[in-house]
Structure 1
Amino acid sequence: MYRNAAACLPPELLRELQRYAGGEMLYVPAPGSAKKKWGECSGRRSELEARNAEMVRLYLKGERIEELADRYALSVERVRRICYGRRAKKNGTAPLNER
């Protein structure tokens, strides 16, 4: 979002910025702790997590990987990664980098 620095910064800081980048556009990154993961702001991340959990539930009930791939318009390999990865995490057998 664009904001006028004169409207939001103290005069001393504004003068200092003008010395270094007067008239230029600057990007001011958020502090590291304020950064959000992909999809957190839009809600897409939670939508995909819910979809994947439902997919795992159906798989554990006996639905075939190929049927899930068709239902969710995903590749068979992607459905395998979702189902096997989640199941392994639940059982505590996933590789350390997937936990």
Structure 2
Amino acid sequence: MTYIKATSVLPEELVKEIQKYIQGETIYIPKPGKTYKQWGTVSGERRRIDERNNSLKEAFKSGISMSQLAKEYYLSIETVKKIVYTK
């Protein structure tokens, strides 16, 4: 997260109005909902996890045990169960 000085991007009147409520503190202004991206879409991590889960499901279908998959993928058996039994 980057910090931007309010006086450099906001009109002076708006800065004065905000100062009525908060002075000298950090304030977070979220993006509008339409511009929000889901976790991992920018970094590609979501795609990597989806690929891992798909290969884990295929390995289970081919007969590899859950305990073996847990060791191979460094996951708990409960996590492997969740991945294998979800659609």
TM range (shorter): 0.7 to 0.9
**CA distance in 2 between partners of 1:72 and 1:29 (Å):** 36
How big is each residue's C-alpha offset from its partner over 1:53-89, in whole Å with a ceiling of 9 and x where there is no partner?
A: 111122222222222111101122211211121xxx2
Letter in 2 for 1:67: Q
The CA RMSD over aligned residues, in Å, is 2.0
* Structure with higher RCO (Cα < 8 A, 6+ apart): 2
State the percentage of identical aligned residues. 40
Aligned position for 1:7: 8
**CA distance in 2 between partners of 1:72 and 1:2 (Å):** 38
Shift of 1:38: 3.3
Shift of 1:44: 2.3
Q: How does the TM-score come out when normalised to structure 2?
A: 0.76
Write 1 or 2 for the structure with the bigger share of helix: 1
Shift of 1:39: 3.1
Aligned position for 2:61: 60
Matched, 1:39 2:5: no
Structure 1 unaligned blocks of 5 or more: 90-99
Tell me the matched-pair count. Answer: 86
Letter in 2 for 1:62: G
**CA distance in 2 between partners of 1:34 and 1:51 (Å):** 27
Distance 1:23 1:78, change over 3 A: closer
Structure 2 unaligned blocks of 5 or more: none
**CA distance in 2 between partners of 1:9 and 1:55 (Å):** 50
